[in-house]
Amino acid sequence: MDKKKYIVTGGAGFIGSHITDMLIAEGHEVHIIDNLLTGKRERINPQAIFHELDIRDAEKIQPVFEGTHGVFHTAAQPRMQYSIEQPKLTNDINITGTLNVLLVARDAKVKRVVYSASSSAYGTGHPMPLKENMAPRPIIPYAIQKRVGEQYCQMASKFYGLETVCLRYFNVYGPRQTTAKDGPYATVIGIFLEQRQKGEKIGIVPDGKQKRDFTHVSDIARGNLLAMVSTKVGKGEVINLGTGKNNSVIEVAQMIGGPYEFIAPRQGEVSETLADNSLARELLGWSPQISFESGIAELKKLHKIS
């Protein structure tokens, strides 16, 4: 890729910071827009240009977009349970913020926006694996909001000529993932690792039988870069990024090791996620590179867990 200017909204976040690192490694000029509500300053690549701004304020973010080739829109309030407690706040960030990014990108003549969508938009009641042509059945406010974001991307491509791609992430894990100290309902693997480090029992909700398609953050970041340059997309296509394999939560706890206990169930938990990633392979040339076993081994080493 020739050197270009890119924006990563939410670039101080878990996934956004990994996308930023990959772009900088390729020699691009990267601007981060993040209000640090859930992002962390220490995740910001020192070679990136940081703008402490809020995507809910279209007027303030507009100057950053001038001369930008592409936008990776990862900024969101991602906690599902929190969206039940605070539906208006999460709606403002996840829907109004997304519409702002799309409209400002349109006005700045940005070529393409790659949108961080969510497999939670599928909801419940589908046979596995989950395919993009299945009817969305989102229930939790966060899932509804992320689905509306997809529809706004498709609208922007249809009426404004802004190229968009929507990547539905499955359960993303890896270095810099959120933990319990980042608030409740952080990434389950991050919570388990933190509990193990502290010598606490791992808390499994509710019986550990629910299965998740855990996808490494470096595979997700690479999928974003491929989506930005693929000539086969740009009209708001919805594409799964998942491994096509899944593990139960109790298996995860056992891989991390140590004692565990069962705790109260949470609202809106689905029993299983499993991606059909054939469309990502076809349209993006993407396939997962990191096995779950090697990803967990890497994290245990990082957290000094034997």
Known catalytic residues? 142
Q: Report which of 74, 55, 164 is spatially closest to residue 111, judged by C-alpha positions.
A: 164
Q: Report which of 30, 32, 36, 35 is spatially closest to residue 50, judged by C-alpha positions.
A: 32
Q: Decide: helix, strand or coil at residue 281.
A: helix
CA dist 215 and 242 (Å) reads 6
User: Could you tell me which residues are beta bridge partners of residue 11?
Assistant: none
Using an 8 Å Cβ cutoff, are 14 and 172 in contact? yes
CA dist 38 and 151 (Å) reads 25
CA 197 to chain centre: 25
> Which amino acid does the sequence have at 121?
A
CA dist 17 and 32 (Å) reads 9
CA dist 20 and 97 (Å) reads 20
For residue 11, CA distances in Å to 18, 44, 51, 138, 279 come to 8, 7, 10, 26, 26
Using an 8 Å Cβ cutoff, are 173 and 214 in contact? yes
Using a 10 angstrom Cβ sphere, with 0-12 exposed, 13-18 middle and 19 or more buried, the burial of residue 141 is: buried
For residue 237, CA distances in Å to 58, 97, 157, 274 come to 25, 20, 10, 19
